[in-house]
A and B are shown apart, each in its own frame.
Chain A
Amino acid sequence: MSLLARRSEFFFWCFITTIGGIIPISVGGLIVYLFAEGSSIITWDLFSRILSNSWFPADEEFGILPLIVGTITSAAAVLPLVVCLGIPSALYFVLFANERAQTIFSMVVGTLSGLPSVVVGIFVMEVTGINFTSAVIVLFLLVAPQFILMVATSLFQLHKGLLISAKALGLGDFGITVLILRQISLPVFGAMLVSLGRGFGEAVALTFVAGNVATMMPDWSGPIRTLTTTIVLELDFATGAHYSILHIVALSVTLLIAVTVILSGIFSRRNNQ
């Protein structure tokens, strides 16, 4: 290759790297922005108020603990449901369904995973009303399809020889299922963490059904308020300290999600090893 061609290729890749770097930089920039805007008004007095358990912005009470409790509780409450119904569904999809059933099921799960959250929110609000239970149902509908697709993907990646050998050894459906579940335990944990992250981040659909009252002790028939629904409901009229606190709320939910991303990355790497 001539020097000119080599040099022009070098400059081309420099250009591509500059353009391509904008996306990760903008994600990092978003976090820096949230931190800068949120911390701009922080004083020791305000910091202690943020860690209280009373959220009444009109009275300058900015305790985000009940919002964090609401976020973690709702996302954690949906997880057992997602795992108990999601793993058998993924197993059926990959192992037991015939071609026709696979096509139908992939369309069903794909459609559910692509459903706009407003559609899910409006459906659940109409069917089960406004309470914590409805919030969990909404999150189930939004999180479960993604979980199934992730578990199904890890099942597809299993070596086919494993299943053929298991069948050749005379293992029945139950034996094969146990064997497979042991093989995919790490990807399943990863999928659970990603689902948890998705649960932390849901906003609009929860606004319809959660009742939006900040509480430290959520109960199944009562209301709940999460970090993201607070932003949806209050960004319109927030000013001054309230506006900055909403950035701290956004930073909090982003950090919660970052933890799930880091942990699922660790599981993924271990699985690859």
Chain B
Amino acid sequence: MIRIICMCCALLFLGLILAIGFDLYTEAADVFYDGYLTDKPSDLGTKGGIAPIILNTFIIVGLAIAIAFPFSLAAAATYTMVLKSQPTTLQRLFIFLIDLGIGIPRIVWGLAGAAIFSGLFGLGFSIISGVLTLALLLSPILTFGFIAGIESLEKQLKIQCQVLGLTDLVTFWMQLIPSAKSALLTTTLIAVGRGFGDAAALLFTSGIASRIPSSILDPAATLSVWVFQLTTAIPGGEKRAFAAAFILFTITLIIQGCLSISNKKRFSL
């Protein structure tokens, strides 16, 4: 009996994901045409394709990950190799701030990014402003995942390296990082997914331009921001918003597929 109840609850989620995919597709079916993914939008996005928006999304998310990755890896190294030998209070404060960073709403990062990067630094609505805000937002997520990945294998490996007389530097970069690379990859993919889906942080930083940018100081909308804009500000933009949302949905499915392949595990009795 309990098995059936549990299965029904699980099936509900399968039904939900199918319903979302089906509904988005049926709402957007009229909009799709052969050149939808390769054409530029026109008439405020109510006609044409979404090629520049997809390009902008890849540029902004790619740059944000490229900036956030080394900082997050350094933060994970700091926690696992340096702070572990420090007082517990410092460790707890570090982890609390990382946890809080993950929990802070994206719109709050957007608010601060708009004030600091767009306003104080004079970058205005620009790709670089959005990239820096997104990098700040994604860094705690990456750091948390990296720490979890390294800690899952740290204890035995660290002791083995100490016995062999290896320095902390060699232990971390030559042993821990290569051993944890699947965890690092998984975390990075999760962060990429978050970056693709983020609208709140980019709405007030990278702007809503739908053209191909000529420099990182140009404004540029990502797919999520584009969906938000079409839904809330463009009259008659709903169908187009559904179409862009379906593309976002498909990208999420692809990222999830990659995650499932990179993280194949079997857990059961």
Binding site for B on A (CB under 8 A): 1, 5, 9, 12-13, 16-17, 19-24, 26-28, 30, 33-34, 37, 85-86, 88-89, 91-99, 101-112, 114-123, 125-127, 141, 144-145, 148, 156, 160, 163-164, 167, 173-174, 177, 194, 197-198, 200-204, 207-208, 228, 231-232, 235-236, 246-247, 250, 253-254, 257-258, 260-262, 264-265
- With contacts A111-B252, A112-B13, A123-B24 known, is A20 near B199, CB below 8 A? no
B228 contacts A204, C-beta separation under 8 Å = yes
Q: How far is the CA of A119 from the CA of B17 in the complex (A)?
A: 11
B259 contacts A110, C-beta separation under 8 Å = yes
Q: How far is the CA of A163 from the CA of B24 in the complex (A)?
A: 42
B154 contacts chain A at the CB level, 8 A cutoff? no
**Please, what's the 1-or-0 string for B221-256, where 1 marks a CB less than 8 Å from any CB in chain A?**
001100110011000000001100100110011011
Please give me the residue from chain B that is nearest to A30 by CB atom. B112
- With contacts A16-B74, A116-B248, A262-B96 known, is A201 near B105, CB below 8 A? yes
Q: How far is the CA of A163 from the CA of B74 in the complex (A)?
A: 40
Which residues B179-212 have CB closer than 8 A to chain A?
A: 190, 193-194, 196-200, 203-204
**Please, what's the 1-or-0 string for B42-54, where 1 marks a CB less than 8 Å from any CB in chain A?**
0000000000000
B269 contacts A163, C-beta separation under 8 Å = yes
Complex A-B, nearest 7 residue pairs according to Cβ-Cβ distance, in ascending order: A116-B197, A20-B78, A201-B105, A92-B6, A20-B74, A20-B75, A24-B97
B197 contacts A115, C-beta separation under 8 Å = yes
B169 contacts A12, C-beta separation under 8 Å = yes
A115 contacts B20, C-beta separation under 8 Å = yes
- With contacts A27-B140, A108-B17, A203-B107 known, is A235 near B204, CB below 8 A? yes
Contact partner of A204 (CB less than 8 A), chosen from B169, B199, B248, B252, is B199
What are 10 A-B contacts with C-beta separation under 8 Å?
Answer: A19-B74, A19-B75, A23-B71, A23-B143, A86-B9, A89-B6, A108-B17, A110-B259, A119-B227, A174-B1
B193 contacts A114, C-beta separation under 8 Å = yes
B199 contacts A116, C-beta separation under 8 Å = yes
B197 contacts A24, C-beta separation under 8 Å = no
* Known contacts A120-B20, A201-B108; 10 further A-B pairs (Cβ under 8 A): A20-B79, A23-B75, A24-B98, A95-B268, A95-B269, A117-B199, A117-B200, A202-B105, A231-B107, A254-B108
Residues of A close to B224: CB separation below 8 A: 116, 118, 204
Q: How far is the CA of A120 from the CA of B197 in the complex (A)?
A: 11
- Minimum Cβ distance to chain B for residue A139 (Å): 13
Residues of B close to A92: CB separation below 8 A: 3, 6-7, 9-10
